[in-house]
């Protein structure tokens, strides 16, 4: 059974992910970066496979937005959060469609740590299922 704190943390993390997805759709880089650790590690679909640090994470969004176009889709679903104490992880599915009309079903896994009472993303992993 979840404690009240775990339920509160799960709801807070879920809301963070929903805000992040909305920021991606809005191309709001400030909100995309919010709640991400300075030393974030990201595994991504396009090269490079591994990015380290908030500046590398920030720069990774530039080519994404260039291909996303005005008609891009970034819909998130099936969010599951598992929180305990000061460590949590969340998973979700993302439908990503760029301006070229290509659909990608992306799996999202986020690792979080609580610092000073606030959740921060320390690891973000995007992947696509093998054909």
CA–CA distance, 16 with 24 (Å, rounded to integer)? 12
CA–CA distance, 30 with 23 (Å, rounded to integer)? 8
pTM of the model: 0.89
Mean pLDDT, rounded, for 86-99: 90
CA-nearest of 77, 52, 47, 51 to 63 is: 47
Mean pLDDT, rounded, for 20-27: 94
- Domain span at residue 10 reads 4-127
Q: In a 10 Å sphere around its CB, with 0-12 CB exposed, 13-18 middle and 19+ buried, how is residue 68 labelled?
A: buried
Q: Is 96 helix (H, G, I), strand (E, B) or coil?
A: strand
Instruction: Tally the domains of the chain.
Output: 1
Q: pLDDT-derived band of residue 1, with 50, 70 and 90 as boundaries?
A: very low
Higher per-residue confidence, 1 vs 115:
115
């Amino acid at each position: 059974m979840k404690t009240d704190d775990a339920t509160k943390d799960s709801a807070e993390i879920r809301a963070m992910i929903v805000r992040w997805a909305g920021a991606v759709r809005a191309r709001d880089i400030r909100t995309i970066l919010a709640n991400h650790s300075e030393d974030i590690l990201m595994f991504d679909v396009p090269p490079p496979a591994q990015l380290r640090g908030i500046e590398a994470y920030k720069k990774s969004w530039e080519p994404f937005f260039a291909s996303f176009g005005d008609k891009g889709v970034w819909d998130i679903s099936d969010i599951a959060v598992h929180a305990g104490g000061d460590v949590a992880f969340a998973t979700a599915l993302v439908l990503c469609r760029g301006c070229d009309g290509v659909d990608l079903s992306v799996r999202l896994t986020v690792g979080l740590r609580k610092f000073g009472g606030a959740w921060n993303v320390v690891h973000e992993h995007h992947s696509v299922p093998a054909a």
